[in-house]
Amino acid sequence: MIDKAANSAADFVFLDIEDAVAPPDKERARKNIIQALNDIDWRAKGKTVSVRINGLDTHYMYRDVVDVMEQAGDRLDTILVPKVGVPADLYMVEAMVNQIEMAKGFKTRVGLEALIETALGMANVEAIAATPGRLEAMHFGVADYAASNKARTVNIGGLNPDYPGDQWHFALSRMTVACRAYGLRAIDGPFGDFSDPEGYMAAARRAAALGIEGKWAIHPSQIALANDVFSPPE
């Protein structure tokens, strides 16, 4: 799947050690990702490449940052930090990245991206967006956000017919405003039912209408849909 992603039409690929990986497989996934960062020339393929580390509330996170940065930090564009709740979450990751880059003598600079996917993160989204340093973008993680709010959902990123409209509008709009106020890029997250391209397109258009400039594709069939909606018109 990593090779397919590298050769796909996606502009931006993130390699995941978090929710896509079961706990017994975390260490193996981390090694696979480090190998992929070093073996594949992502930049030659026109890809921006990121790694989603595990959350700060786990014991995997520090080893994710240390191993990936020390062994492949000069091959990486950004680190995607999940479940960001307060600005200090980013500060911790940034401090580690700063020290590793200096110790290793890397000339490249790895950026950070914040995944806003909890009630706490949304309550603090403006303060998180104002965090100085490496932060480049915010992503909306609809599944964990729904769980955090105990929202009743039908499918990941889809709409509950009991709600009169788009139940994600407030969250997406607030995150987007915070991004634009502080010079960050606003990215929408996943749409789980990859057998429903019309549903994906509708969600993408709603996000684009708010000013969001990209959306996750969790299946190869969604890449063309995202590119169709979010590519700037001539």
Q: Where are the alpha helices (DSSP H) in the chain?
A: 2-6, 26-39, 61-72, 87-104, 119-123, 125-129, 142-148, 169-181, 197-210, 221-230
Number of folded domains in the chain? 1
Single pTM value for the model: 0.96
pLDDT tens-digit series, residues 134-176: 999 999 999 999 999 999 998 999 999 999 999 999 999 999 9
Over the chain, what is the mean pLDDT? 97
pLDDT at residue number 233: 85
Model pLDDT for residues 83-133, shown as the tens digit of each residue: 999 999 999 999 999 999 999 999 999 999 999 999 999 999 999 999 999
Q: How far apart are CA 18 and CA 49, in angstroms?
A: 16
The strand pair at 111-116 and 78-81 is best described as parallel
Q: What whole-number distance in Å separates Cα of residue 83 and Cα of residue 57?
A: 9
Cβ atoms of residues 84 and 121 within 8 Å = yes
175: domain range? 2-230
CATH number for the domain that contains residue 200: 3.20.20.60
Which amino acid, one-letter code, is at 73?
G
